[in-house]
A and B are shown apart, each in its own frame.
Chain A
Amino acid sequence: MRRARWLIVPLVAIPLAWILFIGLGRDPSEIPSPLIGQPMPSFDLQTLDGGRISSSDLAGRPAVVNFWASWCKPACVDEHPVLLDAQAQVGDQVQLVGVLYDDEPADALEFLVTYGDGGWPQANDADGAVALAYGVLGPPETFFVDADGIVRAKHYGPLTKETLRAYLGQIGVVE
């Protein structure tokens, strides 16, 4: 009886520690986006060059919507050449769209001057409403939308050449 009482400690403590370890160690970016398989949330934003870009402009063509910020270093800096390369290789098949996340247009322009401007539209989501509509946790985050306007994939963190190629395949873009 007395010995059984001491068993309570490990019987309670071990499962509890296990639950906390599993729960707290989880990375929120592993959660799949509920938007996958859904139509892309619509937007209509001003671009850094003074024009406008809206989700309806993307109809009929696969699109890559990339949320980024000039302050997002080194991830966005690492990712930038991958996007520049994609624009050069498959820019005729897919529409790239950059969306600024919590950033100043002047800082974003400086980033583009420093690291290279691929010429795709850079939209200024000044109040963050579009990021919220897409469920963005933080830059860089990239959505892959097929020609029918359906979100097919979402990537958290910087893209590499290989991951980008795999995602582009999912929206019907092949090199």
Chain B
Amino acid sequence: MTRRLWVFGTTVIVMVAIGAVALLAQPAVAPTAEQQARAIAAELRCPDCAGLSAADSPTQAAAEVRREVAEQLAAGRTEAQIIDSFVARYGDWIRLTPPGPVPWLIPVLATAAGALILGWWLLGRRGTGAGPEPGPAAAVAEEDEAPPPLPRPLARRLAAAAGIILAGAMAVGYLLPEPLSLAAQTVVNEPLAQTRAAEADRQATIERLLGQLQANPMDPAALSDLADAYLAGSTADDLQRAAVVLLGLIGLNPTDPDPYPKLISAYVRAEDWTDAAATTTALANIAPDSPDVPFFEGLIAWRGHSDAATAIEAFDRFLDMAPDDGRVPMIRALRQEAAAGSE
């Protein structure tokens, strides 16, 4: 009997140890932005279906949740901020995972209590002895009369110890602070963290410049910096704002060629070929010798209109005018691409 108890206890301990090692040995992989977006969507309820997460539901509303999560993530917002933005519209109902540690402890405690009760019941009962099952009256009598046989309290103690070990191991795993936790091994995704930091800086710069411009709306230096900050962004909205600022800057001093190339590149990035071409013509009028003119003429001809002949002619003019320009390798590559495309 005692050997069986030892086998039971040892098995429990070995299983807990294996589980802990397995959790620790999980490879720590930095999540991609897509995986992060999916993980956040999995914590949000699909708005128009019962009991599915936004990550798992095929409805339009769930797709929109996923799209918005990815968008907010790209804008540098944290998981908590993103989830809060949904709670602000739907209430706590939208959360699939409860906030705070208390609800997470319930299954741990329930498991421990279950293990305790099961062990007590199984081993405790075995302690009453084999042979024909005694009737309830006999059992009561036995319990009341004789002192309990030795293995029974031992069994209970062992079962309790196993339950405590099990609960303890799970609680330690869940409750350790983030970097040590067995439940969530987080590795900072370096490139993503840098992108986020840069985006936060950019937004701060924009705020600061907008503040300056409120005091002095015609400050060319602030306008120029603001245009640069918008151009550093990647959304259509950023490009549109950059174009508006640059047009304002050009309006202040139409003969200054500096803002023109920036405006053209904003149009090119937004694939607005008509405005890009018109601005290039305007630049050619005030600065005919600028290598930016053939540079953008070629870019617009090739990227915008797939017109290889015009593009190659313009790229050659650029290479003649500015053989030492930093953009020469890029233009050589584009020229090659256009030459290959025209054949």
One of B84-92, B183-191, B326-334 at the interface: B84-92
Contacts of A1 in B (CB 8 A): 143
The secondary structure that dominates the B interface is: helix
Q: Are B93 and A31 in contact (CB under 8 A)?
A: yes
**Shortest beta-carbon distance from B96 to chain A in Å:** 13
**Shortest beta-carbon distance from A58 to chain B in Å:** 19
B80 adjacent to chain A (CB < 8 Å): no
B65 adjacent to chain A (CB < 8 Å): yes
**Shortest beta-carbon distance from B107 to chain A in Å:** 13
Q: Which interface class (under 10, 10 to 19, 20 to 34, 35 or more) fits B?
A: 20 to 34
Q: Are B64 and A34 in contact (CB under 8 A)?
A: no
B47 adjacent to chain A (CB < 8 Å): yes
Q: Are A32 and B64 in contact (CB under 8 A)?
A: no
* CB nearest to A3 among chain B residues: B140
From B68, B91, B117, B139, contact of A132 by CB (8 A): B68
Find residues 135-154 in chain A having any chain B CB closer than 8 Å to their own CB.
135-138
Contacts of A41 in B (CB 8 A): 89
B275 adjacent to chain A (CB < 8 Å): no
Find residues 127-141 in chain B having any chain A CB closer than 8 Å to their own CB.
136, 139-140
- Given A31-B93, A32-B91, A34-B91: A132 and B47 within 8 A (CB)? yes
Q: What is the CA–CA distance of A8 and B89 in the complex, to the nearest angstrom?
A: 43
From A2, A34, A137, contact of B87 by CB (8 A): A34
Contacts of B136 in A (CB 8 A): 2
B61 adjacent to chain A (CB < 8 Å): yes
Chain B proximity mask over A115-140: 1 for CB below 8 Å, otherwise 0 = 00000000000011101111111100
Q: Are B64 and A132 in contact (CB under 8 A)?
A: yes
Contacts of A132 in B (CB 8 A): 47, 61, 64-65, 68, 89
Contacts of A102 in B (CB 8 A): 48, 59-61
Q: A-B pairs with CB below 8 Å: how many? A: 58
- Given A102-B60, A128-B60, A128-B63: A31 and B47 within 8 A (CB)? no
Chain A interface residue count, Cβ-Cβ cutoff 8 angstroms: 22
Q: What is the CA–CA distance of A138 and B47 in the complex, to the nearest angstrom?
A: 8
**Shortest beta-carbon distance from A84 to chain B in Å:** 26
Q: What is the CA–CA distance of A136 and B90 in the complex, to the nearest angstrom?
A: 8
Chain A proximity mask over B133-161: 1 for CB below 8 Å, otherwise 0 = 00010011001000000000000000000
* CB nearest to B121 among chain A residues: A5
B67 adjacent to chain A (CB < 8 Å): yes
Contacts of A128 in B (CB 8 A): 60-61, 63-64
Q: What is the CA–CA distance of A143 and B285 in the complex, to the nearest angstrom?
A: 55
**Shortest beta-carbon distance from A63 to chain B in Å:** 18
Q: Are B59 and A135 in contact (CB under 8 A)?
A: no
Q: What is the CA–CA distance of A137 and B61 in the complex, to the nearest angstrom?
A: 9
Q: What is the CA–CA distance of A84 and B307 in the complex, to the nearest angstrom?
A: 56
From A2, A28, A129, A138, contact of B143 by CB (8 A): A2
Residues of chain B touching chain A, judged by Cβ–Cβ distance below 8 Å, are 47-48, 59-61, 63-65, 67-68, 87-91, 93-94, 117, 136, 139-140, 143
12 contacts between A and B (CB under 8 A): A2-B136, A28-B93, A31-B90, A31-B93, A33-B91, A35-B88, A41-B89, A129-B64, A132-B64, A134-B89, A135-B89, A136-B48
Residues of chain A touching chain B, judged by Cβ–Cβ distance below 8 Å, are 1-2, 8, 28, 31-35, 41, 102, 127-129, 131-138
